[in-house]
Structure 1
Amino acid sequence: MNRRKFVKQKLMATTALGLGATGLGLAAEKSSALPLQTNFKLKYAPHLGMFKNHAGDDPIDQLNFMADQGFTAFEDNGMKGRSIQTQEKMASTMAKRNMTMGVFVAHEIYWKEPNLANGDPALLEKFLKEIQESVEVAKRVNAKWMTVVPGHIAPRLNMAYQTTNVVEALKRASDILEPHGLTMVLEPLNFRDHPGLFLSESPQAYAVCKSVNSPSCKILFDIYHQQIQEGNLIPNIDACWNEIAYFQVGDNPGRNEPTTGEINYKNVFKHIHSKGFKGVLGMEHGNSKQGKEGELAVIEAYKVSDTF
């Protein structure tokens, strides 16, 4: 039920029961605990758990809460691991609420050992099998994008050989994805949180995508990671623009909502919007405060950062 309609009916019921002005005041106070729905200019995408203190643990209730607050997208790194029944229910809810499905992680990520950079044929075939499986998940949940991380460096190989191995693997993955109109987005990750990974910088991701030369291989520009790794955010966004398909958000330090760190997200969002971006900006961060107060702070942070 629409929240505004619910509150109106609650007030009418209170009056009918003869609870008087005190009861009405308490009901009004309760109704004002949540902000009114916001018409955001960009497709900010929360994830499960971000609003669980308000919405509860059920994924469907959480999706509806997100939509009620004005969020028009959603991302779920763990979507591939959910049951088919849950995936279908979530997809149906997103369709009803006009929410765009963002990324999910497409494959096993090798955080401490190489899998694509070393050219191992068995690991390559495993990766391609996982990409093929992800095609079915994407169809089921109406997703267009999936996250790919090429894994750890191969320290005994020259970087040029490693890059060639990664590019060749991604070309083969693109051959799987292209017929379905799906896109894997490569995520460079910063050296501090994820030391030793092959892909760490946006210029490197740009060069890899240019070498793969496929509409199914683009960049996931995570603003949090790139602030730590290289800074110079807006110029790097511009330099990589025609290969960026997806953004993720998090302030630094802390990896929490915008306005809690050093990044001027209002200006960054304004710039992305001015370039005509119609895709998703995943809210891949924590809440700076606990409980319902922290959840309201997240909503308010996006409202403030969206006022450009």
Structure 2
Amino acid sequence: MMNRDEFLKKSFLLGLTATFANSTMASALMGGAAAEKTFNLDYAPHAGMFENHAGKDFIDQIKFMHDQGFRSIEDNGMMKRSAEEQSRIGDTLAKLGMTMGVFVVDKGGNGANSLAAGKAEYVEIFLKGCREAVNVAKRVNAKWVTVVPGDFERSLPIGIQTGHVIEALRRGADILAPHNITMVLEPLSDTPNLFLRHADQTHLICKAVNSPACKLLYDIYHMQRNEGNLIPTIDKCWDEIAYFQIGDTPGRKEPTTGEINYKNVLKHIHSKGYKGVMGMEHGNAFKGKEGEVSLIKAYREVDSFI
């Protein structure tokens, strides 16, 4: 006959099993080896997001991401990695059947080197970045690169600035298009000094560039801060959107930690037939392994409404 202590112990373990069965949290906390089921949308974590579980090596982090059900990654700083490391990342993704999301075109007109200024030396920095990005993309099998035109040029009318940006982007698209690489333009909320800050403005520029190699990156975090009205704006800009990024606000952490109703937003994006990458461009709300488990749980929660 089972004594009281044994009964309580078994009851506790059964309770844990019932609570965590078939969940990502169970895998993370209990060290399960079996890969979790994939998500309904293709969420892409970045380097460092799960280093408490997987360690400092990005390759090990990618493998951990795969085990948790993620099937893509993104890495803004990919161009700053060595060619050898880029190849290792590309080989790992290929073996795991994972997709490489965006990386940022190095010196792509960011900050003071603004494409809006129309200066030849700034444009050449951008074009050089595009040429280098082609080589990096081949190593990691990437199809998207992030481009930000840079700061607003206060000495020029907005129409002239827009013309300068369109002309530079057309030249960049000519470099990328033959390699089936798409630059995705990202309107940002980091500072009012930036030239590109709104979705409709980016949509107009994509139309004017008129190339499959120039599309819109809709970062939900930035667009909530700059303009809100997320779902109607996504619908209006849909034909030029090629990539999404995620982050809640305030705080720029995972969904469910801020004001954005990600259950509805992600459900809407999925209902429109989006099959692309959803970059997880945000920090972890909580520290350590517990924070990483909490992050995964948040994505499981919002994804379950799709």
Distance 1:133 1:32, change over 3 A: closer
Equivalent residue of 2:218, what SS? strand
Equivalent residue of 1:93, what SS? helix
One-letter code aligned to 1:49: G
Distance 1:32 1:170, change over 3 A: closer
State the match for 2:6 in structure 1.
none
1:212 to 209, 214, 219: 209
Q: Deviations over 1:63-105 (max 9, x none)?
A: 0000000001100001111011111111111111111100000
Checking the alignment, whether the CA contact within 8 Å between 2:28 and 2:293 is kept in structure 1 is no
Deviation at 1:294, TM superposition (A): 0.5
- Asked whether 1:240 is paired with 2:233, we answer no
State the match for 1:54 in structure 2.
53
Unaligned 5+ runs, structure 1: 1-20
State the match for 2:149 in structure 1.
150
Checking the alignment, whether the CA contact within 8 Å between 2:116 and 2:151 is kept in structure 1 is yes
TM-score normalised to the size of structure 1?
Answer: 0.88
One-letter code aligned to 1:143: A
Cα distance in 2, alignment partners of residues 111 and 123 from structure 1? 10
State the match for 1:14 in structure 2.
none
TM-score normalised to the size of structure 2?
Answer: 0.88
RMSD: 1.9
Deviation at 1:112, TM superposition (A): 4.2
Cα distance in 1, alignment partners of residues 286 and 28 from structure 2? 20
Cα distance in 1, alignment partners of residues 303 and 112 from structure 2? 40
State the match for 1:66 in structure 2.
65
1:33 to 16, 23, 29: 29
- Asked whether 1:225 is paired with 2:219, we answer no
Checking the alignment, whether the CA contact within 8 Å between 1:38 and 1:303 is kept in structure 2 is no
Identity %: 58
Residue pairs, 1:69-218, within 5 angstroms: 69-108=68-107, 112-190=111-189, 193-218=190-215
Equivalent residue of 1:33, what SS? helix
Equivalent residue of 1:263, what SS? coil
1:265 to 251, 262, 265: 262
Q: Deviations over 1:34-85 (max 9, x none)?
A: 5871320011000010000000001110000000000011000011110111
Checking the alignment, whether the CA contact within 8 Å between 1:73 and 1:102 is kept in structure 2 is yes
Residue pairs, 1:3-18, within 5 angstroms: none
Unaligned 5+ runs, structure 2: 1-8, 21-25
Distance 1:307 1:31, change over 3 A: closer
Equivalent residue of 2:257, what SS? coil
Q: Deviations over 1:94-140 (max 9, x none)?
A: 11111110000012155542420010011111210110110111111
2:296 to 294, 299, 302: 299
One-letter code aligned to 1:94: L
Cα distance in 2, alignment partners of residues 307 and 212 from structure 1? 38
Distance 1:114 1:79, change over 3 A: closer
Q: Deviations over 1:175-224 (max 9, x none)?
A: 1111111100000001xx22200000000000000000000000000000
Distance 1:263 1:31, change over 3 A: closer
Distance 1:179 1:302, change over 3 A: same
One-letter code aligned to 1:180: H
Cα distance in 1, alignment partners of residues 28 and 44 from structure 2? 24
Cα distance in 2, alignment partners of residues 245 and 58 from structure 1? 30
Q: What is the aligned residue count?
A: 282
Checking the alignment, whether the CA contact within 8 Å between 1:183 and 1:216 is kept in structure 2 is yes
Cα distance in 2, alignment partners of residues 110 and 218 from structure 1? 17
One-letter code aligned to 2:122: L
